[in-house]
Homo-oligomer: A and B are copies of this chain.
Amino acid sequence: MIESEESPAVAELLKAFSHPTRLMILQELLAGPKCVTDMEDLLTARQANISQHLAVLRYARLVDYAQDGALRCYYLARPQLVRDMLALVGRDDPVVKRTPEAIKAEKERLNKAQQTQATHKPAKNRGRRDKAKR
């Protein structure tokens, strides 16, 4: 359950993932630590650009680096998160299609459950739609 106050932070994290080059970087790092030059060979992009993307990933706390002389060896700061994310988006989920009838039925069902439980606002109809029914 994501609270509305934290939803911007979550969106930020997802944004860090949302770029082809950054995705490739994360995938490379899944295989083991790499320095920027390694990535340059692997990733049709200029060094400066890779550095910029790494800065984004660092800010999102997805990667970090260990300095080794002149080299910076980047590694995944949250490897399990990255692994699961790549698996999730690589997955091929079935797309469901629902009929208006099925939807209506589900709404009824939800309404009923909500009323018996009396959680939160029963909210039969409010706002604009109240006026509509006058």
Contacts and interface: CB of A to CB of B under 8 A. Distances in A.
Given A106-B33, A126-B41, A127-B41, A91 B81 contact: yes
Contacts of A17: 11, 14, 18
A57 B61 CA distance: 27
**Interface size of A as a range:** 35 or more
B23 A103 contact: no
A2 to B, nearest CB: 5
B8 A20 contact: yes
Interface in A1-15: 1-2, 4, 7-8, 10-11, 13-15
A107 interface: yes
A107 B73 contact: yes
A15 B17 CA distance: 8
Given A7-B24, A64-B98, A110-B32, A2 B104 contact: no
A109 B91 CA distance: 30
A48 B31 CA distance: 44
A15 B31 CA distance: 24
A80 to B, nearest CB: 6
A17 B16 CA distance: 11
A97 interface: yes
A129 interface: yes
